[in-house]
C-alpha cells in the first residue's frame, strides 16, 4: 500500500510541476508577444507620417528613427554629476595655473605656428 501511495504522490507532484511549467511558458510567450506588438506599433506610428512605397526605404527609416530615439533618450537621461574637487586635484590645477602665468606662450591654446 505504501508503495502505491508514494507512486501516486510522485505522479501527482510531477503532473503539478509540468502544469506549472506550462503556465510559466505561456506567460513568457504572452509577454514576448506583447513586447513585439508594442515595438511594431511604435514604428508604425512613426512611419504613418511618411508615405513611402518601397519596403527597403521603410526598413532603413525604421532603423534611423530607432537610432534617433535612442540618442534622444540617452541625451535626456544623462546628467553628469560633478564630484567635489579633491585636495590633490586642486593642488595640481593651481600648479598648472601658476605655470601658465609664468610661461603664457607655451600654455596658451591659440598659439600660431
Domain boundaries, the chain: 2-79
Q: For the packed helices 2-48 and 55-77, what is the interaxial angle rounded to 10 degrees?
A: 100
**Grid cell locating 20:** 506549472
Which of 1-15, 18-32, 73-87, 96-110: highest mean pLDDT?
A: 18-32
**Grid cell locating 62:** 525604421
Q: Could you report the per-residue pLDDT of 22-38, keeping only the tens digit for each?
A: 999 999 999 999 988 88
Whether the per-residue pLDDT at 68 is higher than 90: the answer is no
Q: Identify the residue whose cell numbers are 586642486.
A: 90
C-alpha separations of 59 from 44, 47, 48, 50 in Å? 11, 10, 13, 12
Residue 21 — pLDDT band, cuts 50, 70, 90? Answer: very high
Calculate the CA dihedral of residues 87, 89, 90, 95 and round it to 10 degrees: 120
Q: What is the mean pLDDT of residues 81-109?
A: 83
**Residues with Cβ within 8 Å of residue 105, at least 6 apart in sequence:** 111
Amino acid at each position: 500500500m505504501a508503495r502505491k501511495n508514494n507512486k501516486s504522490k510522485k505522479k501527482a507532484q510531477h503532473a503539478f510541476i509540468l502544469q506549472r511549467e506550462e503556465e510559466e511558458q505561456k506567460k513568457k510567450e504572452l509577454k514576448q508577444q506583447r513586447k513585439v506588438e508594442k515595438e511594431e506599433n511604435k514604428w508604425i506610428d512613426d512611419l504613418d507620417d511618411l508615405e513611402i512605397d518601397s519596403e527597403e526605404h521603410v526598413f532603413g527609416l525604421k532603423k534611423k528613427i530607432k537610432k534617433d530615439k535612442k540618442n534622444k533618450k540617452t541625451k535626456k537621461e544623462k546628467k553628469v554629476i560633478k564630484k567635489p574637487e579633491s585636495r590633490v586635484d586642486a593642488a595640481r590645477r593651481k600648479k598648472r595655473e601658476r605655470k601658465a602665468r609664468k610661461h603664457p606662450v607655451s600654455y596658451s591654446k591659440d598659439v600660431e605656428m
